[in-house]
Amino acid sequence: MTFRKKIMIWGTLAAVLYVLLSYHFIFFGRTVKVLKKSERTLECTFFSVHGKTNRSIVSIESLRKDGIADLMVEMGRMKEEEKEMLMARYGNASR
């Protein structure tokens, strides 16, 4: 393998890792939404809302902090009133 190929492979792997550290990939059935993370971590990188209650989803601090409630309202998964109630319950003001 040539040096140029090795650099391309390592560069691609580094880019993929950067994306995985920087974004949540939220699965709403067949729809995938991307949510920017506030800090680079692998926590909740791939997350499915299937079979989970809105309360259990919003209770996850990293997702809540990054705006999962707004995304769930946008996707029709919950209403604005429920979002406000859940955000108040977990001590976060609306965004």
pLDDT by position in tens, the chain (length 95): 899 999 999 999 999 999 999 999 999 999 999 999 999 999 999 999 999 999 999 999 999 999 999 999 999 999 999 999 999 998 765 44
Tokens at residue 75, please? 């996707």
- pLDDT at position 20 is 96
Q: What does 54-76 look like in DSSP terms, one character per residue?
A: HHHHHTSHHHHHHTHHHHHHHTT
Distance from C-alpha of 59 to C-alpha of 16, rounded to nearest angstrom: 28
Domain regions of the chain by residue span: 3-89
